[in-house]
Structure 1
Amino acid sequence: KEAPAEDSLFYLDDPAPMFRKEFSLNGEIKSAKLLITAAGYYKATINEQRAGNNMLDPAWTEFGKRIYYSEYDIANLLMPGDNCIGVVLGNGFYNPLPMKMWGNKNLRTALNVTGRPVFIGKIVVEYKNGKKSIINSDESWQYEYGPILKNNVYLGEVYDAGKEIKGWDKSGFNASIWKNATIQNGPGGQLQKAFFPPVQITDIISPVDIYSPFDKIYIVDMGVNFAGIQRIKLRGDPGDSIVFRFGERIYEDSTLNTMTAVCGQIKRPGVGGPGAPDTAWQTDTYIIGPSGNGIYSPEFTFHTYRYMEISGIKYKPQISDIKGLALNSNVPQINNFSSSSELINSIQKASERTFLSNLISVQSDCPAREKFGYGGDLNATCEAFIYNFDMQSFYRKTVYDWVDAMNDSIFIDTAPFVDTKYCGLSWESAFIITQYYLYLYYNDIDFIKELYILNKKWMEKAARIHPEGIIDAGLGDHESLEPVPSELVGTCHYLFCARIMRQFANLMNDDIGKEHYGQLAKKLKNIIRKEFWEKPVEGKINRQTLFSSLLYYGIVSPEETPSAVDSLMKAVAAAPAGHFTTGIFGTKYILEAISEYLSPDKVFEIVNNTKYPGWGHMIEKGATTIWETWKESDNVYSNCHPMFGSVSEWFYRWLGGIRPDPGFPGFTKFHLAPNTPKNLDHVNCTYHTPAGKIVSNW
């Protein structure tokens, strides 16, 4: 199909195409592989059985530059003689709706390449006699449209069970009225085999309650907030339309609150553009088929929710009929932290759940409202993710996303690129900083060597855009309770990049580069000292972020450190409840600065507390994932945002006491110095490194 001529027409039914191909096998099979990818999403079946466990595949990338394919072992799905492969295509981020997020961002024009979903694949069968059969995707395939009438990563899916075609992906099916497939141009990206964990169902969650706030409406409480989909057994009369809506919260009257998870703040008529819903909430629709029964689980979307509203159903559903299916890139969950404090444990579990919910092939800022791979959030939490999971291959993929997204003239905010470019260097510097953490934690030197020339070009761009060194544009310390200028946080990130590049140049035996980046680092440090330490800082500024930044980046000398610590603690004491008021970056810095230069006990006292502002306050208010803001929000702000999850890094670093030594990447040598606050009885902490497992229990 061609794309609709008008934006409003995109919102009409647009059934997902289903492709099939029958083939015969003759001989004993030694091995059989399916290699497949798509622009968009795909689901592949062999003889009616799903090939592999991947969901929302392939991973989101700049489809015009790079597309990852998956390889499945399908030997156990094949039969002697006749077989059939089926492929269903979903839209994903390749065929988005022209919905205007915030009233202006249309992903169809914001993304570098979009189009109708297409796929490419082949089956390779090797026989024990040495012969081989190859089944390619070509014009001999046939296609028809099936029961998935609509699918969108934000708005959800419409599924009409009355349009199911039984046996369509089984050999012997009568496909005489099906049409022959056509060869189409793909988006142009280089095909590469996926080397990172795929998105899969990683947890099955049972509801804790089902209730009816008013007649014919049911609310399912899953007990925790998470990213994923639902699986539900349904019954009704043929043609009944059952609607599911999803939210992170409920109102005081126990009805569903969708507003913190609405796509792009589209919450009133006209904002989303022609054809868009007045409120772009997460929703699925299932239409009962002729049998009157069905099991529904959406295929090409994902939601963020604790609460699911069901309408159109004629009975109260049973808890046993419903499951929540948590989705995330299946990064190895090999590390763990727990303690004697139930509050600390709840904060850690909420952090873990938030992190996983924001790993749907990119590390996102939030898994509902935007789903974008923001670099600032990555800079703030990269180490926290690494402490919790094996992130090496995932973060390699992330860095490649930045390689594909960048251009030479501006700083961008996300990878893949979605035409946001106002956050500045503190966001795009994730390209350099993530590489450093891959080096520090995994000793990934080969990656640095591969990208070194690109890294130098990035530093040249930074120098062109900010020739004086001061970073005078950007977002700053997002969600700080007081203003923080980009001149502080942005220039600190620039300094960090210069220091990183000096280290990379040393690894590359680039003496000229080492000298250049060393001089740049000195220049930037002096700029920060002059602007934010050697003279009074005028105007309103979050002094917690100010002084913790100066300490974290070593801007002040050892002799000046006590004065900076004193100023920092005065700022903490002046804050509500004597707690932190810092934002996305300042929170990471203040946790480390107070622990390093004063005492981790003071940090523990603040973290292990339920007063506002703080993580304990979130937990006391019922949070099961980490909020975007210190203040509770029931409308604008995400309730599943990783950036304040930097506290989980602190648990591992200071309560577990496990810290890398920058001089010995990959933990060939490391620091083990757990802190034992008087109100904490024990900690159990395990962290896996390339050099082996570290256990810190006390």
Structure 2
Amino acid sequence: MMEVVLDHGAAAASGLAGSAFQFSASMVAPSCDGGQATAGTFISREFWLGEVPAEAILRISALGLYRAFINGRGVGDDLLTPGWTCYDDRIAYQTYDATDLLRSGDNRIEIWLGDGWYRSQLMWASNPIINCWGEQTAAIAELSAGGAPLLKTDGTWKSGYTPVTRNGIYFGEDYDARIEPKDTHGVEVLTFDKGLLVPHETTAVKALDGRSPITSWAEADGRKVYDFGQNAGACICIRVKGEAGAQVRIEHSEVLGPDRFFDNRNYRSARAELVYTLSGEGEEVYMPLFTFMGFRYARVTLTGQAELVAITMVPISSVPVSAGGFNCGVAAVNKLVENTIWSQRSNFIEVPTDCPQRDERLGWTGDAQVFAGTACWLANSETFLRKYLRDVIRDQRADGAVSHFSPDPTRLHPINGRGDWAGSTGWGDAIVIIPWQLYLHYGDASVLNECFPAMLGWLDYLWGISDGPLIRPPAVWGDRGFTFGDWLQPVGDNRKPRPTVADDCAATLYHFISTQLAAKIARILGKGAEATRLDARAEEIRAAFKHEFFAPSGRIAHNDQTSWALAFLYGLVPPEYETAGRDYFRRVSEETDGVIGTGFIGTPALLPAFTRLGMLDLAEKMFLNRKVPGWLYQVEHGATSIWERWDALSEDGTIYDPDMNSYNHYAYGAVCQWLFEDVAGIKPLEDKPGFEEVAFDPAILPALSPVSAWHDTRFGRIEAGWSLDAQTVTCRLSLPQGVTARLKGTEDRKSLTADGALVAPGQEVRLGKGEHTITFSI
């Protein structure tokens, strides 16, 4: 039987950068392929080697997903290759050292193919899209030594059926181990543009350490449920033995209903199951090849004579290595940070998706833009997000509208009656905001240059929605300029709902944010004329916003937390209204008794706005609130990842609205950016990006003491922290060679010292490599 689990002894992929390899091989499809949702197929070739070369390199890609085997051993430990891109724009190929898999004499290579994102269902049941990028799976491969080809795909290859009898990203996988791959058919050489092939642009998806169940129980009908203690994007790996034809069926869920009811209604049309049929040949090991799930719980049904020897959750991610951590004196906050890390890992699987479990798993631009800063703090996200931006650019419409999600299946297959799935403010602004966050964190202006034309297209689209600075979005979903606004913004008691931001205000706020930021980017790129033009446009938006949304009393139109937070954070509150605005903002925030009144676009701005205005008491109270809506409510109700909705579970554990509810959605985890930059006080600076210089400016929230944080930069690790003893704050700051920290004296920090030297109010000092102690009184 072919080994189907990961062979970690095989070499990992290389070739993440550099010029593209010029394939002489052909893209070939199994002639036995029956199409989407039918039996899995492979292509194969037997070949002879007189001796094993000193180094043999395999370059390989596919239409669909592939797993390659040489002499029965898996090639590499990458998962879900060749990955997910706009396949009509770019298709990644991987490069492996295959030397240790070869032998003198007869050799055999098999490339198993799966439907993957290429042709299995995308989108939800009401608007499913299949065969999005094509109807045939196929592979291209070239094995070479010393630059000379040893083997390449062409019309002489054979094909046949794999034990994978059906697979799909949402469907899951069915595997019949009784099926032995046999060469039964030939191949078809496809007409294919090899110019689409590029080296894999980021780290391939990898498996993390497996997790054993923390508990299990049998249901009344004999099915057994396993709790792995963590909601994750993952695969189940089983060890099983029994008679040929016996089956193991594995269902997945994120949560349990009351009385431990196994509940995965929120998966909607995603079957998300594995069905493994035993070969009967001793102990068998299986982990799916062409799919993954989002789950914490697995329910196992055994049919026939089968014994489950072991079951393991194997989390997978494109960003498996942490680049930052935060810890404080409140255990629930530390758990929130851990949950955010897990949601990033679970949703950074080739594309920054909204969720890893239901019939969606799409690269929503709004989610990605609000989380981009946090993503860069918690993991090295530079190549991952840059790859994603290339798909966003490809999906951009001719009029400049940016897709709601990317890669966008609806660009090639428009959905009747729902308009174009592009152009929402707050979502399309990803094309401006994500490159900026990458520049701040990694210091490479080339990402700004690559995305700048798309930024201008987006800004022209925004201006054109209502032919001017104010944006008046239509209310009908899909009409040009439709906006999601502050998506899932809570309104409180529906008998007397709290104020929420209106679409025109939210859209105009983001119009200003992106225009002002694009002007700044133009200056960095040396595009003076564009910077001047965009500066003038930003001032038009500012004036129009003041006229439209501010009363003479200084009250903003909707007097809600989102409007105030974004307006204050981005400088849209006129100076003459700042005092009144602070009072309004405080009052509307205090009236909720500490609960959040913001949705997807308002939440990341809320606590930074409080902090900038010196309202640290409000920031502390709202952040530490345990009621719904609030960050810590979900922690105290058992969350191990970030929820999509503030009220995803009720107090009694009942699922709220399973038709649209995910328990692994990173957007609200964007608060972690505030923890690093404001609470721990490490702020990257735009004039010295990539952490060449940082501002050290911690916001002291007494309830969080002691605070510590770390972050791995291109220069090495930065560590920062502080503790409060009565009124005295003691900070510790550790900087690697190449990083400088700016520390500025302020009136509210009494007796400020840096390494024993007094720092006067208004004075700025710079701290270099090494350990530093900063003290002051509050």
**TM-score after normalising by structure 2:** 0.80
Match among 10, 30, 53 for residue 54 of structure 2: 30
Maintained 8 Å contact 2:156/2:186 = yes
SS of equivalent to 1:610: coil
Structure 1 residue 655 displacement after superposition = 2.2
| 1:408 matches 2:398 | yes
CA shift in 2, pair 1:4/1:107, >3 Å: farther
Match among 674, 678, 688 for residue 664 of structure 1: 688
| 1:546 matches 2:563 | yes
Maintained 8 Å contact 1:63/1:187 = no
Maintained 8 Å contact 2:490/2:629 = no
- Listed one character per residue, the Cα deviations across residues 409-467 of structure 1 (whole Å, up to 9, x for unaligned) are 34421111132616613212211211111112212212223343343333333333342
SS of equivalent to 2:608: helix
- Which is worse superposed, 371-380 or 72-81? 72-81
Maintained 8 Å contact 1:542/1:582 = no
**RMSD (Å), alpha carbons:** 2.6
C-alpha distance in 2, partners of 1:122/1:542? 62
SS of equivalent to 2:647: coil
C-alpha distance in 1, partners of 2:536/2:94? 45
SS of equivalent to 1:428: coil
Q: Which amino acid aligns with 2:509?
A: C
- Listed one character per residue, the Cα deviations across residues 627-672 of structure 1 (whole Å, up to 9, x for unaligned) are 1111134223111111101111121112211111222222222111
Structure 1 residue 539 displacement after superposition = 12
CA shift in 2, pair 1:346/1:187, >3 Å: farther
C-alpha distance in 1, partners of 2:196/2:157? 24
SS of equivalent to 2:407: coil
Structure 1 residue 535 displacement after superposition = 5.8
Which residue does the alignment assign to 2:45?
21
- Which is worse superposed, 673-682 or 474-483? 673-682
- Which is worse superposed, 49-58 or 401-410? 401-410
| 1:311 matches 2:301 | yes
CA shift in 2, pair 1:602/1:659, >3 Å: same
Which residue does the alignment assign to 1:456?
456
C-alpha distance in 2, partners of 1:145/1:541? 61
CA shift in 2, pair 1:72/1:665, >3 Å: same
Provide the aligned length of Structure 1 versus Structure 2.
658
- Listed one character per residue, the Cα deviations across residues 94-138 of structure 1 (whole Å, up to 9, x for unaligned) are 1124x77251x22237x4x33221111111112xxxx83431111
- Listed one character per residue, the Cα deviations across residues 223-278 of structure 1 (whole Å, up to 9, x for unaligned) are 1111111001123332223211111111213231002233xxx4xxxxxxxxxxxx
Maintained 8 Å contact 1:565/1:594 = no
Maintained 8 Å contact 1:227/1:303 = yes
C-alpha distance in 1, partners of 2:408/2:586? 40
C-alpha distance in 1, partners of 2:642/2:210? 21
CA shift in 2, pair 1:532/1:187, >3 Å: farther
| 1:475 matches 2:484 | yes
Which residue does the alignment assign to 2:356?
367
Which residue does the alignment assign to 1:486?
503
Which residue does the alignment assign to 1:425?
425
Q: Which amino acid aligns with 2:207?
A: I
C-alpha distance in 1, partners of 2:41/2:553? 64
Alignment of 1:383-398 (within 5 A): 383-398=373-388
Q: Which amino acid aligns with 1:254?
A: R
| 1:510 matches 2:533 | no
Query: Structure 2: any 5+ residue segments left out of the alignment?
Result: 1-28, 411-419, 474-482, 492-499, 650-654, 723-778
C-alpha distance in 1, partners of 2:364/2:76? 30
C-alpha distance in 2, partners of 1:206/1:509? 54
Structure 1 residue 184 displacement after superposition = 1.6
Which residue does the alignment assign to 1:354?
343
C-alpha distance in 1, partners of 2:277/2:557? 56
SS of equivalent to 2:258: coil
| 1:614 matches 2:626 | no
Which residue does the alignment assign to 2:124?
101
C-alpha distance in 1, partners of 2:605/2:195? 39
Which residue does the alignment assign to 1:641?
665
Alignment of 1:574-585 (within 5 A): 574-575=591-592, 577-585=593-601
Which residue does the alignment assign to 1:339?
328
- Listed one character per residue, the Cα deviations across residues 44-68 of structure 1 (whole Å, up to 9, x for unaligned) are 1122111111101112111111111
Structure 1 residue 538 displacement after superposition = 11
CA shift in 2, pair 1:418/1:567, >3 Å: farther
Maintained 8 Å contact 1:63/1:189 = no
C-alpha distance in 1, partners of 2:30/2:105? 37
| 1:159 matches 2:175 | yes
CA shift in 2, pair 1:133/1:418, >3 Å: closer
CA shift in 2, pair 1:470/1:317, >3 Å: farther
Q: Which amino acid aligns with 1:523?
A: E
Alignment of 1:238-317 (within 5 A): 238-262=244-268, 266=269, 280-291=270-281, 293-313=283-303
Structure 1 residue 147 displacement after superposition = 0.9
Which residue does the alignment assign to 1:561?
578
SS of equivalent to 1:86: strand
Maintained 8 Å contact 1:65/1:189 = no
Maintained 8 Å contact 1:525/1:555 = yes
Which residue does the alignment assign to 1:697?
721
C-alpha distance in 2, partners of 1:449/1:69? 25
C-alpha distance in 2, partners of 1:317/1:569? 61
SS of equivalent to 2:690: helix
Q: Which amino acid aligns with 1:290?
A: G
Q: Which amino acid aligns with 1:296?
A: Y
Query: Structure 1: any 5+ residue segments left out of the alignment?
Result: 169-174, 267-279
SS of equivalent to 2:175: strand
CA shift in 2, pair 1:330/1:546, >3 Å: closer
Q: Which amino acid aligns with 1:475?
A: F
C-alpha distance in 2, partners of 1:479/1:316? 46
SS of equivalent to 1:204: coil
Q: Which amino acid aligns with 1:228?
A: A
- Listed one character per residue, the Cα deviations across residues 365-420 of structure 1 (whole Å, up to 9, x for unaligned) are 11122110111101111101111111111111011011111111344211111326
Q: Which amino acid aligns with 1:162?
A: R
C-alpha distance in 1, partners of 2:197/2:721? 45
Maintained 8 Å contact 1:3/1:116 = no
Q: Which amino acid aligns with 1:282?
A: A
C-alpha distance in 1, partners of 2:32/2:537? 52
Higher relative contact order (CA 8 A, sep 6+): 1
CA shift in 2, pair 1:683/1:69, >3 Å: same
CA shift in 2, pair 1:186/1:149, >3 Å: farther
CA shift in 2, pair 1:579/1:316, >3 Å: farther
SS of equivalent to 2:326: strand
Maintained 8 Å contact 2:366/2:426 = yes
SS of equivalent to 1:564: helix
CA shift in 2, pair 1:72/1:60, >3 Å: same
SS of equivalent to 1:527: helix
C-alpha distance in 2, partners of 1:155/1:390? 31
- Which is worse superposed, 44-53 or 324-333? 324-333
Q: Which amino acid aligns with 2:276?
A: Y
The structure richer in helix per residue is: 1
C-alpha distance in 2, partners of 1:188/1:123? 16
- Which is worse superposed, 460-469 or 519-528? 460-469
**TM-score after normalising by structure 1:** 0.89
Alignment of 1:73-84 (within 5 A): 73-84=97-108
- Which is worse superposed, 432-441 or 416-425? 416-425
SS of equivalent to 1:688: strand
| 1:678 matches 2:698 | no
SS of equivalent to 1:106: coil
- Which is worse superposed, 554-563 or 344-353? 554-563
C-alpha distance in 2, partners of 1:597/1:457? 34
Identity %: 24
